[in-house]
A and B are shown apart, each in its own frame.
Chain A
Amino acid sequence: LPGSLARSAVAFTTLLALGCTIPDQPIAPSGEQVVVHAILDPGSRVQLVLVERARTGDRNAVACGQSGSGIGGADVSITTPSGVVMRGVEDTTHLLFGCLERLYRVPLDAYGMSLTPGGTYGLRVRTPSGQEVTGSTTIPDASLTVPEPPAEPFSFLRDTLRLQWIGARGAAGYEVRVDSHAGLELSTAYFVSDSR
């Protein structure tokens, strides 16, 4: 080969080698991450706390269906504004889409307590491996409103639904959900406090 052509061939081959990368590759799992789903519902006598691992590639956190893997044996407690600590009881029978979930139920009746609108409640979750998650929230000073369903058939493509409710002090926003008679969620709207 002439010198220049040989040099070009070497350069091209080098570039070709440099260009070879692997598009898909396994990566190391990240550490265990605890996810806590919890809500305070003043309309319910049992408060729910779901504790699970996020999917991080860890063999212990392989998902079941859409969910992560639940964490059993956790210490779950809700602290009332008056300082009463209500402990959650693990429900080992709860299935969601065929997957066992680690749901903790906090029975208010067992402590003779009710959730007070305007009150600030604390949540503490401690897993068997020692990870601890804490949080707090203030219940808006509002009551649940469930309007009567319309008397006539309602089509969301055609009809307009007008709703009104009493504003709650301290509420950041409202969620309005419209369900069909069959229980199918048709629409969920989120409103900020001054846009109702």
Chain B
Amino acid sequence: VSTSVCAPRTLLLFAYLIVANAASRPACAQATEFRAPRLTADGNGIAALRAFATIDVGRESVAQVLQRIAAQAGLNLTFDPTLPGIQRQVVIPTVRRAVAATLLLTLDGTPLAIEIGHDARLIVVASSLPRDTAVVVTGRVEDTLGRPLMGAIVRVAGMETVVHSTVSGRFMARPPRPGRSVIRVHLLGYFDAERTVTLAMGDSVDLLFRLRPNPLRLDAVRTEETSARRARFEDRPSVGTLSLGGAEIRSTPRFIEADVMRAVQLLPGVSARNDYSATLNVRGGESDQNLVLLDGYPIYNPFHLGGLFSTFIAPTVGEVTLLSGGFPAPYGGRLSSVLDVHSADEERPGMHGTADVSLLSTAVSLSSVIGEGAGSWMIAGRRTYADAVADFVKSNAFPYHFSDAQAHFTHRLPGGAQLAVTAYSGLDLLATDIGTRDENHFDWGNEVVGTTVSKTFADHPTLAGMPLGERVAIEQRLSTSQFHTSLTTGLSSLSLHSGVRDMRAAGFITSYTTTHDRTLGYDAATVRTSYATSAPVAAVLFDSVSQHTSVGSLFYDDLWRVAPTLLLQVGGRLDYTGGRGSAGFSPRLSLKYFVTPDLAITAATGRYVQPIHSLGREDVPLRLFDFWIASDSALPVSHAWHYVLGAERRITPARTLRVEGFYKRYSDLLDANLLAEPGVPGDEFVVESGRSYGFDVLLQQLEVGRFSGWAAYTYALSTRTQVDGTQFFPGQDRRHDLNLVGNWRWPRYTVAARFGLATGTPYTAVLGDYTRRHYDPITQTLTDGNAPDKQFLTGSRNGERMPLTQRLDVSVTRNAHVRGVAVSPYFSIVNLYYARNAIAYSFDYRTSPPARTDVPGFPILPSFGVNIAW
């Protein structure tokens, strides 16, 4: 067929021009001739035609149905409304099927066909030629049960092309000449069928082919897709970026149960304060300098039991990404790192679940997909039961528990948008009630609710005629996140209430082209912080702070594929802190240069700001949680500059070596003022500057055989400088930190082991003590008061070092299946060979010589449990 695409009434008339995604398409192209192929059931390889859609039509004309399909599927479809048969009434069942199949079904039984122009435009044409000029063979292909077979190849001897049967099994072919014709039908999985007909000029014949099944045994086919890690290596600079999948997190040796934060602690650049802490110190930074995100929503204190466990329920975690430095412009608000925790999205049809039963707690999750890939949902909960077990022995013997509940939901909205909702609630509760008003109540926890709507516009979208790129992605997030703590002791003799509430809106638009991914985004939040303590009986004053501030950011990020060997990511962030009324610009730059396809040099630099701070002291080895406070007229915004230089080598597809050196310079860091006057607001902090530098190494083996694991080593040196110029090592400063993590899999057993070796963190030595005397103006004497008030004489701040620490943790898991359910009992031992690590010292100067006693780390800690998954 020859035609032109816009000359009216040459061969076809275009009464309607239905255009969708019409970007950059001229209103009238120059007339060209082409030989158009017919539309086939597989959509001729065109993505829009192969996409599945539910076309909702009732009894309508073919023309109306075609218009509806074109509009709904975003097709460029052209037809002449005067074509014979185009006004015929048809009924299309509302069933989800490929767009191409729906089109063919619409035209089935009509004298119409669809041809595909060279620019993927669809043209409806009359399908038959005059009967007196040709012979026509029509027919139907079906199986032995009479069901129509679509996609059968119908070959007529002498024809240069073949035709395919439609969804109703129909086909039509035109033998090149009258006379004897052999028609052969072929369909994978069926025996071929053949018929011979003899036709005179102008004759037609209608045939029925009933195919017998012929199952085929095919050789195994191995396909390989570029792994996500490889794609990240090739597509982005990814400086300081490491990811752990949910399976990797769950396969590291567990401290009683699998824990996200404890797995992240084993990565290079990350160190833990001590055994009892699941908090993170990243490349020399303080633990409040980490932005922890749950599906993109901030979570302020993601820990239970004083940092012993994190709040994330392991089975709900799909992937964790740690950005340990030099992170790009879309991330801000913290000085050291970003920990991006993504919920697992269920992809398997049917209902699935997990149950993790440990000595400490039980965690249960349920998940499923919605419809045919329209979305997914997941709910999970966890609760400890040490309190319930202790109740069997003695009532209220251990009145503490923590619990978590999490839900994650995704759904595709009409128009192709994607909705995601995440909700999390966690609570730690310590309450003793002895039946009177003398009740001690201590609770703390996080609540996070967030929703994200995202949409991707493909096929060169435009805005007011302006091209936006080959593809555009838009995302909008709304969230609220709060952390609260409340302490009330008996008779309300002491009460403490503290909290932070973050209400946030954030979003971005990204334009993708061949050479650039440009992102423009914003982040705006109101943050309420409060801290109030009172002791009415003791009449002692404490500081109380209540703040309501706003923070906002605008950012721009451009990932530029300069050359096949060079990636450049450049951007900036304009941050505003309402409480202080200050704004500042933070440039970001990172690059990756591929020396070879498997070896890349990386570098990054950037400025980072932090307007929210923790009241916690890094020198204290055990911290229950952080109290948060915002920058205001008295508290400056902290700043840091990152400089990162590294190299990444893909030794094999499954083995990676990464080395990164870093230098960080801090200013306006806030440290607790030990001389703060109670009741005087604004003197809680002193301002310091500082620096951290070092390098970290990661050698990682992905799971391709029996073994997977990694070796991570970090060398770091951190110093802080007080206003008077005095330098000291911050409490998290750890010079050497080595972690070896291994996982060995056999069909029946999995063994995981982790060995950690680290040099000590600094501490302030106690050189002596004395009892502070109190002067009694009534008796005019110096006394010890009602209770001796011991005061310590200390050496220089953090002038001493704790000794080397080491630990070997091992767990063994039995891999078993019971009626399709994976049942995996495990046994784990923390500190297998009982290394006596000290986390702190206590000093006794009552004797001569004085004695120093270790505050011990983990003892040998065996535990067991079972993971069930279906």
Nearest B-chain residue to A32, judged by Cβ: B768
Q: Is A5 an interface residue (CB 8 A)?
A: no
Q: Of the candidates A15, A26, A52, A103, which one forms a contact with B850 in the assembled complex, judged by CB atoms under 8 Å apart?
A: A26
Q: Is B109 an interface residue (CB 8 A)?
A: no
Q: Of the candidates B541, B770, B835, which one forms a contact with A55 in the assembled complex, judged by CB atoms under 8 Å apart?
A: B770
User: Which A residues are CB-close (under 8 A) to B833?
Assistant: 12, 15-16, 19
Q: Is A179 an interface residue (CB 8 A)?
A: yes
Complex-state Cα separation, A33 to B794, whole angstroms: 11
- Establish whether residues B845 and A192, one from each chain, have CB atoms under 8 Å apart when the complex forms: no
Q: Is A62 an interface residue (CB 8 A)?
A: yes
- Establish whether residues B788 and A66, one from each chain, have CB atoms under 8 Å apart when the complex forms: yes
Complex-state Cα separation, A117 to B806, whole angstroms: 60
Number of B positions contacting A (CB below 8 A): 52
User: Which A residues are CB-close (under 8 A) to B755?
Assistant: 15
- Establish whether residues B849 and A192, one from each chain, have CB atoms under 8 Å apart when the complex forms: no
Complex-state Cα separation, A37 to B780, whole angstroms: 13
Binding-face segment, A41-49, A80-88, A107-115, A119-127? A41-49
Q: Which of A177-191 contact B (CB under 8 A)?
A: 179, 183, 185, 187-191
Which applies to chain B's interface (DSSP): helix, strand, loop or mixed?
loop
Complex-state Cα separation, A93 to B691, whole angstroms: 56
Nearest B-chain residue to A67, judged by Cβ: B771
Complex-state Cα separation, A190 to B671, whole angstroms: 25
Binding-face segment, B395-403, B557-565, B587-595, B674-682? B674-682
User: Which B residues are CB-close (under 8 A) to A23?
Assistant: 836, 838, 853-854, 856
- Establish whether residues A57 and B847, one from each chain, have CB atoms under 8 Å apart when the complex forms: yes
Q: Is B769 an interface residue (CB 8 A)?
A: yes
- Establish whether residues B768 and A39, one from each chain, have CB atoms under 8 Å apart when the complex forms: no
Q: Is B129 an interface residue (CB 8 A)?
A: no
Q: Of the candidates A29, A33, A44, which one forms a contact with B848 in the assembled complex, judged by CB atoms under 8 Å apart?
A: A29
- Establish whether residues B780 and A19, one from each chain, have CB atoms under 8 Å apart when the complex forms: no
User: Which B residues are CB-close (under 8 A) to A173?
Assistant: 677
Nearest A-chain residue to B788, judged by Cβ: A66
User: Which B residues are CB-close (under 8 A) to A176?
Assistant: 539
Q: Which of B817-870 contact A (CB under 8 A)?
A: 833-838, 843, 845-854, 856
Q: Is A27 an interface residue (CB 8 A)?
A: yes
Q: Of the candidates A21, A25, A41, A195, which one forms a contact with B852 in the assembled complex, judged by CB atoms under 8 Å apart?
A: A25
Q: Is A166 an interface residue (CB 8 A)?
A: no
- Establish whether residues A62 and B848, one from each chain, have CB atoms under 8 Å apart when the complex forms: yes
Q: Is A139 an interface residue (CB 8 A)?
A: no
User: Which B residues are CB-close (under 8 A) to A29?
Assistant: 848-850
- Establish whether residues B786 and A185, one from each chain, have CB atoms under 8 Å apart when the complex forms: yes
Q: Is A50 an interface residue (CB 8 A)?
A: yes
User: Which B residues are CB-close (under 8 A) to A15?
Assistant: 755, 806, 808, 833, 835
- Establish whether residues B784 and A66, one from each chain, have CB atoms under 8 Å apart when the complex forms: yes
Q: Is A24 an interface residue (CB 8 A)?
A: yes
Nearest A-chain residue to B854, judged by Cβ: A23
User: Which A residues are CB-close (under 8 A) to B769?
Assistant: 54-55
Q: Which of B514-555 contact A (CB under 8 A)?
A: 537-541
Q: Of the candidates A19, A55, A96, A195, which one forms a contact with B679 in the assembled complex, judged by CB atoms under 8 Å apart?
A: A195
User: Which A residues are CB-close (under 8 A) to B539?
Assistant: 176, 187-189
- Establish whether residues B806 and A19, one from each chain, have CB atoms under 8 Å apart when the complex forms: yes
Complex-state Cα separation, A190 to B542, whole angstroms: 10
Residues A33 and B793 in contact in the complex (CB < 8 Å), given A46-B780, A195-B679: yes
- Establish whether residues A59 and B541, one from each chain, have CB atoms under 8 Å apart when the complex forms: no
- Establish whether residues A63 and B775, one from each chain, have CB atoms under 8 Å apart when the complex forms: no
- Establish whether residues A27 and B782, one from each chain, have CB atoms under 8 Å apart when the complex forms: no
Q: Of the candidates A27, A37, A63, A144, which one forms a contact with B846 in the assembled complex, judged by CB atoms under 8 Å apart?
A: A63
User: Which A residues are CB-close (under 8 A) to B793?
Assistant: 30, 33, 54, 56
User: Which A residues are CB-close (under 8 A) to B777?
Assistant: 41, 43-44, 144
- Establish whether residues B851 and A25, one from each chain, have CB atoms under 8 Å apart when the complex forms: yes
Complex-state Cα separation, A119 to B768, whole angstroms: 34
Complex-state Cα separation, A59 to B856, whole angstroms: 29
Please give the distance in Å from A44's CB to the nearest CB on chain B: 5
Please give the distance in Å from A49's CB to the nearest CB on chain B: 9
Please give the distance in Å from A145's CB to the nearest CB on chain B: 11
Q: Is A58 an interface residue (CB 8 A)?
A: yes
User: Which A residues are CB-close (under 8 A) to B11?
Assistant: none
- Establish whether residues B767 and A30, one from each chain, have CB atoms under 8 Å apart when the complex forms: yes
- Establish whether residues B775 and A39, one from each chain, have CB atoms under 8 Å apart when the complex forms: yes
- Establish whether residues B541 and A190, one from each chain, have CB atoms under 8 Å apart when the complex forms: yes
- Establish whether residues A18 and B782, one from each chain, have CB atoms under 8 Å apart when the complex forms: no
- Establish whether residues B836 and A187, one from each chain, have CB atoms under 8 Å apart when the complex forms: no
Residues A21 and B768 in contact in the complex (CB < 8 Å), given A29-B849, A48-B775: no
Q: Is A35 an interface residue (CB 8 A)?
A: yes
Indicate with 1 or 0, residue by residue over B774-792, a CB within 8 angstroms of chain A CB atoms.
Answer: 0101101111111010000
Q: Is B773 an interface residue (CB 8 A)?
A: yes
- Establish whether residues A44 and B852, one from each chain, have CB atoms under 8 Å apart when the complex forms: no
- Establish whether residues A37 and B540, one from each chain, have CB atoms under 8 Å apart when the complex forms: no
Q: Which of A145-173 contact B (CB under 8 A)?
A: 156-157, 172-173
Q: Is A20 an interface residue (CB 8 A)?
A: yes
Q: Is B597 an interface residue (CB 8 A)?
A: no
Nearest A-chain residue to B795, judged by Cβ: A30
Q: Of the candidates B537, B678, B846, which one forms a contact with A156 in the assembled complex, judged by CB atoms under 8 Å apart?
A: B537
Please give the distance in Å from A69's CB to the nearest CB on chain B: 10
Complex-state Cα separation, A59 to B773, whole angstroms: 23
Q: Is B158 an interface residue (CB 8 A)?
A: no
Q: Of the candidates A33, A48, A63, which one forms a contact with B781 in the assembled complex, judged by CB atoms under 8 Å apart?
A: A48
* Residue with the greatest number of chain B CB neighbours at <10 A, chosen from A24, A50, A59, A103: A24
Q: Which of A47-104 contact B (CB under 8 A)?
A: 48, 50, 52, 54-59, 61-63, 66-68, 96-97, 103
Q: Is B803 an interface residue (CB 8 A)?
A: yes
- Establish whether residues B834 and A21, one from each chain, have CB atoms under 8 Å apart when the complex forms: no
Q: Of the candidates A57, A179, A191, which one forms a contact with B778 in the assembled complex, judged by CB atoms under 8 Å apart?
A: A179
Q: Of the candidates B771, B773, B775, B850, which one forms a contact with A41 in the assembled complex, judged by CB atoms under 8 Å apart?
A: B775
Complex-state Cα separation, A80 to B755, whole angstroms: 66
Nearest B-chain residue to A15, judged by Cβ: B833
Q: Of the candidates B541, B803, B852, which one forms a contact with A192 in the assembled complex, judged by CB atoms under 8 Å apart?
A: B541
- Establish whether residues B849 and A57, one from each chain, have CB atoms under 8 Å apart when the complex forms: yes
Q: Is A28 an interface residue (CB 8 A)?
A: yes
* Residue with the greatest number of chain A CB neighbours at <10 A, chosen from B677, B680, B768: B768
Q: Of the candidates A26, A27, A68, which one forms a contact with B771 in the assembled complex, judged by CB atoms under 8 Å apart?
A: A68
Residues A96 and B783 in contact in the complex (CB < 8 Å), given A41-B777, A55-B769: yes
- Establish whether residues A52 and B770, one from each chain, have CB atoms under 8 Å apart when the complex forms: yes
- Establish whether residues A103 and B782, one from each chain, have CB atoms under 8 Å apart when the complex forms: yes
User: Which A residues are CB-close (under 8 A) to B540?
Assistant: 189-190
- Establish whether residues A58 and B848, one from each chain, have CB atoms under 8 Å apart when the complex forms: yes
Nearest A-chain residue to B775, judged by Cβ: A39
User: Which A residues are CB-close (under 8 A) to B808?
Assistant: 15
Residues A37 and B785 in contact in the complex (CB < 8 Å), given A20-B836, A23-B853, A189-B539: no
Please give the distance in Å from A100's CB to the nearest CB on chain B: 14
Please give the distance in Å from A7's CB to the nearest CB on chain B: 15
Complex-state Cα separation, A150 to B848, whole angstroms: 50
Complex-state Cα separation, A29 to B793, whole angstroms: 13
User: Which A residues are CB-close (under 8 A) to B784?
Assistant: 66-67, 96-97
- Establish whether residues B677 and A18, one from each chain, have CB atoms under 8 Å apart when the complex forms: no
User: Which A residues are CB-close (under 8 A) to B783?
Assistant: 96
Nearest A-chain residue to B677, judged by Cβ: A192
* Residue with the greatest number of chain A CB neighbours at <10 A, chosen from B677, B680, B777, B838: B777
Please give the distance in Å from A185's CB to the nearest CB on chain B: 6
- Establish whether residues B852 and A18, one from each chain, have CB atoms under 8 Å apart when the complex forms: no
Complex-state Cα separation, A189 to B837, whole angstroms: 42
User: Which A residues are CB-close (under 8 A) to B795?
Assistant: 30
Q: List 19 A-B contacts (CB under 8 A).
A: A12-B833, A18-B835, A21-B837, A21-B854, A27-B843, A28-B849, A29-B848, A37-B782, A41-B780, A55-B769, A56-B850, A58-B848, A156-B537, A157-B537, A187-B537, A188-B539, A189-B540, A192-B677, A192-B679
**Known contacts A18-B835, A55-B769, A56-B767; 11 further A-B pairs (Cβ under 8 A):** A19-B836, A21-B837, A30-B767, A33-B767, A41-B777, A50-B773, A57-B850, A63-B845, A67-B784, A183-B778, A192-B541
8 residue pairs, one from A and one from B, having the closest CB atoms = A57-B850, A19-B835, A56-B768, A189-B539, A55-B845, A30-B767, A54-B768, A23-B854
